[in-house]
Amino acid sequence: MNSPMAQQILGLDFGSSCLKAVSLRKKWMGLEWTGGYQKDWPRTQDPFDWAKEPFSGLKEWIAEHRLATDRVVVSVPVHLISLRMLVLPFQDVRKLEKVVPFEVEGLLPYSLEEVVVDYQVTEVGDGKSHLLVAAVPRSLMKNYLDQLARAGINPESVELDGMALMNLARHVFPESLGAGDRERGDTAVLDIGASKTIVCILHRGQPRFLRTLLWGGRDVTAALSEACGISPAEAEEWKRQAGLMDDGISPLHEKGVSQAIVRALEPLVSELVRTFHVYQTQGSTPDRSDVTELVLYGGGSKLKGLESYLGSELGVRTLTHAPKIASSNGNRWDPALALSLGLALKGTHLADGSRMNFRKGEFAQGRETAASMSRARYVWVGALLVAAVAATDLYMKYNLQVSKYERLKTQVREEFRAMFPDVKNVVDEVQQAKTAVADMKKKSALFGLGDWTPLQLMAELTRRMPPSVKIEVQDFVIEPGRLRLEAETDSFESVDKVKASLGQFEVFKDVTVSDAKVSADQARVRFRLTMTLVQKGAG
């Protein structure tokens, strides 16, 4: 199970006869090789116009191998672009980005509107910057990206194939390439493919010269087929078996297979000699050294005896070390995958690798999305600032409210203690005050504080009764502003005397008798008195 922090990078190399891919996983602890893949890729058109032909079957092939396409790096061939070495009298990186296109314009067979320009800083010192500048035709880039998009590929980087070799060499030989003294010399990294050979010459680990030689393994097969009068398929098999060492294979030795292969290699040797000479004699870098090391990659590098042969013919040391990357599936290293591995390494953002990427300007990956994301970032930043200001304001208001609340709480407690000194344990001032007030109201109702109490009214009724009349009270009801009395007496005359006597007291108004009737035994009169009460001080 993949770690959520791991990143999958895919390097795709579109060769003239084979599609090659390398998948890497970038983790906290380093890189992991998750797969190397090859697919026969017969091109129906000129192999050097590969970007014009649709990449048919690519989407299905990627799906078949379950290759992650979130981060993909591809390349453009060196022979389809313009390369120039440039020296500028300053080292400011920001200034380089602005100045380079205009400085190189006069050296290109195109106008700036027709190309995408990028560069690699190869050396800085004495206030100067040495640059390798590349210009890719915009028409090629547009068609290339359109074809990839139809295959479901949206690469994050478009690299030079020769620079991918630098990425690989920087990974395989980091220490030796970093030294680069004159005694040691410079290093040429070759990728020998089916139809072409890519040359990348490194000085102190930085690219100083890139070239594509229009010669590859197919030329050896064709020459051997012609020399021995056999089919291309047989010639390919003999080439694989014998190489440059057919001494142990008697039938092939008798047919002169190795001698035919040596003759087929002569154009490659001649072009390499010419390339090294041009590199040594031309250019603006005074401290460049002779090429003394040769690193071989590509499918053609697997030809038996090729290392020692080229080393002898060119007078250089030959190196073919494999990359040191842990594999998660046990796949063996194949030199034919060198270019695709170099592209995948670029996707890992190799610290000292290539910085070139022709996905810029109008071809920038997800340009509209990036612009939207940029605007979204500004919106989010603005929103965060507003939220921060609002939060600060809310926090300040909250602190003020808390401070005010604490002051009020202290003041309420002081007032409570002043009003209710007998309360010792103060827990909830408001609730305790309500309870105390309720108690006081009960006491005032009982003892007549501010209004007639039941005891006072009963006393007044008793005092206002006629001395000659005796009554037996059955019901005595006091309501707000009203008093009702039910009683029995000896006669209707006594009822009238009670009404008249009570009506003379200014507190009792509207004294009314109702329901006066004789009891069942004819000895008593039952009656009801209703009157309005006047509050104290009301008149």
pLDDT digits (tens, 9 = 90+) for 13-50: 988 788 899 999 888 777 888 889 998 876 655 544 55
Q: What domain range includes position 7?
A: 1-79+137-173+323-365
Tell me: do 283 and 340 sit in the same domain.
no
Candidates 448, 445, 485; CA nearest to 465 is 485
Q: Is residue 316 part of a domain?
A: yes
Q: Is residue 94 part of a domain?
A: no
* End residue of a domain, out of 423, 441, 459: 441
Which amino acid would we find at residue 107? L
Which domain CATH number covers 454?
3.30.980
Query: Mean pLDDT throughout 296-310?
Result: 93
Q: Are 202 and 166 spatial neighbours (Cβ–Cβ below 8 Å)?
A: yes
Distance of alpha carbon 88 from alpha carbon 107, whole angstroms: 14
The two beta strands, 206-213 and 197-203, are: antiparallel
Q: Two tokens at 398?
A: 């909250």
Which domain CATH number covers 196?
3.30.420.40
Tell me: do 313 and 338 sit in the same domain.
no
Tell me: do 436 and 465 sit in the same domain.
no
Q: Which residues contact 504 (CB under 8 A, 6 or more apart)?
A: 464
Residue 521 has pLDDT above 90, yes or no: no
Q: Report the pLDDT value the prediction gives residue 371, as an integer from 0 to 100.
A: 47
**Mean pLDDT score of the chain:** 83
- How many domains, in total, are found in the chain? 4
Tell me: do 155 and 185 sit in the same domain.
no
Q: Is residue 299 part of a domain?
A: yes
Tell me: do 70 and 144 sit in the same domain.
yes
* End residue of a domain, out of 426, 441, 456: 441
Tell me: do 8 and 155 sit in the same domain.
yes
Edge-to-edge strand ranges of the sheet holding 30-40: 157-160, 72-76, 7-14, 18-27, 30-40, 326-327
The two beta strands, 508-518 and 525-533, are: antiparallel
Tell me: do 434 and 359 sit in the same domain.
no
pLDDT digits (tens, 9 = 90+) for 133-166: 999 999 999 988 998 898 889 999 999 999 999 9
Tell me: do 401 and 422 sit in the same domain.
yes
Candidates 338, 352, 310, 309; CA nearest to 180 is 352
Q: Is residue 255 part of a domain?
A: yes
Phi, psi of 475 (to 5 degrees): -150, 135
Supply the DSSP symbol for 303.
S
Distance of alpha carbon 475 from alpha carbon 486, whole angstroms: 5
Written as one string, the DSSP assignment of 218-287 is HHHHHHHHHHHT--HHHHHHHHHHHTT--TT-HHHHHTTHHHHHHHHHHHHHHHHHHHHHHHHHSSS-TT
Q: Tell me, yes or no, if the pTM score tops 0.85.
A: no
Q: Report the pLDDT value the prediction gives residue 47, as an integer from 0 to 100.
A: 45
pLDDT band at 94 (very low <50, low <70, confident <90, very high): confident
Q: Is residue 336 part of a domain?
A: yes
Helices (H), 302-362: 306-314, 338-347
Q: Is residue 123 part of a domain?
A: no
Q: Is residue 198 part of a domain?
A: yes
Which amino acid would we find at residue 128? K
Tell me: do 211 and 269 sit in the same domain.
yes
Distance of alpha carbon 342 from alpha carbon 335, whole angstroms: 11
| Cβ-count burial 287-317 (b if 16+ within 10 Å, e if not) | ebbebbbbbbbbbbbbbbebbebbbebbebe
Helices (H), 88-230: 93-105, 138-150, 161-172, 174-179, 217-228
pLDDT digits (tens, 9 = 90+) for 310-359: 999 999 999 877 787 766 666 678 899 999 999 999 988 877 788 999 99
Q: Is residue 97 part of a domain?
A: no
Query: Mean pLDDT throughout 270-293?
Result: 82
Tell me: do 294 and 332 sit in the same domain.
no
Expressed in angstroms, the distance from the first to the final Cα of the chain is 98
Tell me: do 298 and 384 sit in the same domain.
no
Residue 374 has pLDDT above 60, yes or no: no
Tell me: do 498 and 398 sit in the same domain.
no
* End residue of a domain, out of 337, 365, 393: 365
